[in-house]
Amino acid sequence: MKNLISNFPLQITEAIKIGKKAASAMLTANYQQVVVSGLGGSGIGASIVADYCFDLLQVPLIVNKNYFIPACVNEHTLFIACSYSGNTEETLQAVKLAKKKKASIVCVTSGGELALFAKKYQLPCILIPAGMPPRSCLGYSMMQLLYILKGSGLLKARFEKELLQGLASIKKNEKAIHKLAEQVAAKCHNQQIALYTTAGNEGLAVRFRQQLNENSKVLVWHNVIPEMTHNEIVGWKKNHEDITVLFCYYKNDFSKNISRLQFLKKVIKKYTPHIVDLEIKGNSFWERAFYFINLTDWISVYLSDLNGNDAVEVKVIDGLKSEMAKK
């Protein structure tokens, strides 16, 4: 896993090349909505892209993590099926339903049943390198979503400069990232973990949570400001010294949300001394995203080491897939 995380910048570089080629083959149309179906490591890229596109797309972007699809899917829908293995059963069912609804479908996969489905119906299919854990291939799938949207005429933003800035930032801050990751992992060791972030960064927080789940083998929860300051904040009413709270935010986030975060921090400090500021650093969305993804991936594997776990092993998920295959 450490080798895979180290190769994240190279993965992004290769993914950009794949994406540019794919974008030139996309068809523009009068799309009324975009739906991306994908789960786990294959789907979290869509959540991050949705945060990026929140105020950029003129049509809704729906991230679907289900066997079924929204009722709004029709012939005016751009439907993107994303499954790294190509065998995710929820995504396979969803894309078949989208086909019946006559949606315009693009598949992103390394092979499997999804690639065969695309070939059978002559659908655009972007092939990405195979043979790695899906969660370690976030860069491949995430970049393809950006280029599909660009090639389809939906995303006008010039994001490529931001991507290059993000790559440069990881390389520039490599030593600092490792040092901080080790420090944060130590503070999380033998603790319950809560991740609190601000609106617009939830995709990144969920990615962090999932990496802690799969790599570190720990349970984590997350919540988002401002919503959580209308409910969960009230739950902090007694001492929880077994909880480490990580505040994941960009210092120039919307000022009202930063004020809420600071107030929340004052409340929580009454009940646990274990509070960590984990700044999402960078001058653009993708510079911040790459920095935070790389930092938190390293936190997850360093915590895995402290817990004495194999970061790659996910036997319980493999067992679930075997069981579901029987049904």
* Whole-angstrom distance, CA of residue 269 vs CA of residue 272: 5
Exactly one of 161, 230, 256, 269 is catalytic; name it: 230
Q: 106 to each of 1, 95, 127, how far by Cα in Å?
A: 29, 9, 11
The pair of structure tokens assigned to 245 is 């709270």
Cα separation, 256 vs 101, in Å, equals: 42
Q: Is 304 left (phi over 0), alpha (psi -120 to 50) or beta?
A: alpha
178 is catalytic: no
Q: Known catalytic residue: 321? A: yes
Are 233 and 258 within 8 A, CB to CB? no
Q: Name 315's Cβ contacts closer than 8 Å, sequence gap at least 6.
A: none
Q: Token pair for residue 273?
A: 């001394």
| Rounded-to-integer distance, Cα 318 and Cα 299, Å | 24
HEC states along 6-63? HCHHHHHHHHHHHHHHHHCCCCCCCCCEEEEECCHHHCHHHHHHHHHHCCCCCCCEEE
Compute the 3-state secondary structure of the chain and give helix, strand, coil in percent, each to the nearest 5.
55, 15, 30
Separation of alpha carbons 125 and 81, rounded Å: 9
Among residues 214, 217, 222, 274, the one annotated as catalytic is 214
Cβ burial of 160 (10 Å; 0-12, 13-18, 19+) is: middle
Q: Is 214 a catalytic residue?
A: yes
Residue type, 224: V
Active site residues: 214, 230, 321
